[in-house]
Structure 1
């Protein structure tokens, strides 16, 4: 998981440099699928979520072409808006500014059970 966490942080840094508008970024464990997924909430995603995925794919592709190693594949990433019920609920409970790490486990937020999450950013 350490390699995944590092790859997620590299992706977050890359998206920040590209002006992607990341307001939240965290690893979320999905017990039904028994896997972790990197969730990225971005400003303006509610207007055109498909375009945000295309923007992210372009950013990742350019970074790989320039030799940036070990980026998280986009199929491990869920892009959503800042108004997503889980993101909105988490921001009501805690703030994680910048790029740091905070654990959030076995709790309900906005009627959604969070088994485990490793939060790197939750901005207002």
Structure 2
């Protein structure tokens, strides 16, 4: 998928999740080392732990907004914990709020190899401000 489409669809999903009461503290596109496919990692708020509810909401948002998600499928999304080694390292290095996008390549993050990524949001401070 074209990187500009990744960014556009990722921002749309983050915005719509937020509008539906789930404000992600982090969101980033990741191209895995084992398969050449992009996945959208979403780190939900700390108080949101129900994976079934998360994936249901993502699926509903994508299916109810086909005009905003051309070429995007809900199966591209993965709920990731704030404790994931890569997320843990990135949150110490980056702060991306609003509609940002930061490309990173060939990084070893706390023992996790990340060949390619596009950070859309990395705002763990919002947990402290809100909580």
Q: Which 5+ residue runs of structure 1 have no aligned equivalent?
A: none
The aligned length equals 122
Distance 1:21 1:81, change over 3 A: farther
> Equivalent residues in 2 for 1:105-124 (5 A)?
105-124=105-124
Give how far 1:103 is off: 1.4
- The CA distance in 2 between the partners of 1:86 and 1:25, in whole Å, is 12
TM normalised by structure 1 equals 0.83
CA distance in 1 between counterparts of 2:61 and 2:80 reads: 17
SS in structure 2 at match of 1:96: coil
| 1:71 CA displacement | 7.1
Give, in whole Å, the separation in 1 of the partners of 2:20 and 2:33. Answer: 32
Q: CA deviation at 1:5?
A: 2.6
Partner of 1:79: 79
Question: Does the Cα contact within 8 Å between 2:89 and 2:110 map onto a contact in 1?
Answer: yes
1:60 alignment partner, SS class: helix
The two structures, once aligned, show a CA RMSD in angstroms of 2.1
Contact map agreement 2:62 2:69 (CA 8 A) in 1: no
Q: Which runs of 4+ in 1 moved over 6 A?
A: none
SS of equivalent residue, structure 2 residue 25: strand
Q: What are the superposed Cα offsets for residues 45-103 of structure 1, whole Å, 9 maximum, x if unpaired? A: 76322221122223333334xx6552731111112232333222210121112220111
Q: Which residue of 2 aligns with 1:93?
A: 93
